[in-house]
Amino acid sequence: MLAARFSRALAPLARNRLGFQNVPNITRAGQMLSSLHSMKDEKTQEPQDKKDKGKEGSQELDAMNCDRMKTLQLDVCKCAEVNKAIETIQKSLKDPSEGLWGLVNNAGVSAFGEVEFTSLETYKEVAEVNLWGTIRTTKASLPMLRRAKGRIVNISSVLGRTASAGRSTYCITKFGMEAFSDCLRWELFPMGVRVSVVEPGNFVVATRIYSPERIQATAQKMWESLPEDVRRDYGKKYFNQRVSNMELHCKSGSVDTKPVIESVSHALTSKTPYTRYHPMDYYWWLRMQIVTHAPGAVSDMIYSQ
């Protein structure tokens, strides 16, 4: 799970102030780095029960015994839990007037299925975590971030720059995050807060956010819920082919998340963080350039097959 791996990678930064040697402000007593992840289960998209505390990610982080790092579970879809987390962070600051140095919005869930195959509820569930969760945690953290003149790092996706058939539920949330981040960056620039966006390529293999079993279970439920006329018009052969394409996509991703971790680290620690980071392989980088710079007819010809 990327959230757990990502947090583990931040542990050395929490332990070692030298990781922030390019940023004088971070050495001030009481400043903190906050990385907020979704507490939605990746398979069911349901909130995890409190009894899950201590499993995998949080257990490994707690085992590091880092006195400068604390783990805290929350559901980014619930204002009460987000506000409680902010209160906990404030109480952990030696000097609250120094503020919060960094916020990394890494909460995310995913779904697949063409527009006619996807329920409105699925659209809402994905957006509630990926988009509204980011907005909710950012707004709650802004007073502390402004005081510190800190950093906001939003984990978007290459699918926030280029669309993909069958991924509209995910794409619209990441396109929304891109726009939110741009607006936020321009608003906060005069106040000294820097906002960066990290746009990873295909890291499905590394994150294990999809498994063959989950894809098949989701596809079966999706097919059974379709209206009869939609099933008739598309046909099972077409439907099965789209599912097979998704399975192939989930087997072809990068397995090393190091480029993502390095991008986040740079955004948090550099004196001159980039606006956007592109940790992706050449296929996705080239696709992004074609979609964003070439005439629409070109990308339609290549990618609408």
- What residues are labeled active site? 170
For residue 291, how far is the Cα from the chain centroid? 22
CA 190 to CA 243: how far, in whole Å? Answer: 47
Q: At what angle do helices 120-130 and 132-148 cross, to 10 degrees?
A: 10
**Cα–Cα distance list, 201 to 35, 41, 229, 267 (Å):** 20, 22, 36, 17
Structure tokens at 305: 């097959």
Structure tokens at 193: 């807060």
CA 223 to CA 97: how far, in whole Å? Answer: 54
The DSSP code sequence of 115-128 is GGGS-HHHHHHHHH
**Strand, coil or helix: 281:** coil
Question: Which residue type occupies 289?
Answer: Q
30-6-96 Cα angle (round to 5): 15
**Cα–Cα distance list, 271 to 9, 164, 193, 266 (Å):** 20, 35, 12, 9
CA 226 to CA 233: how far, in whole Å? Answer: 11
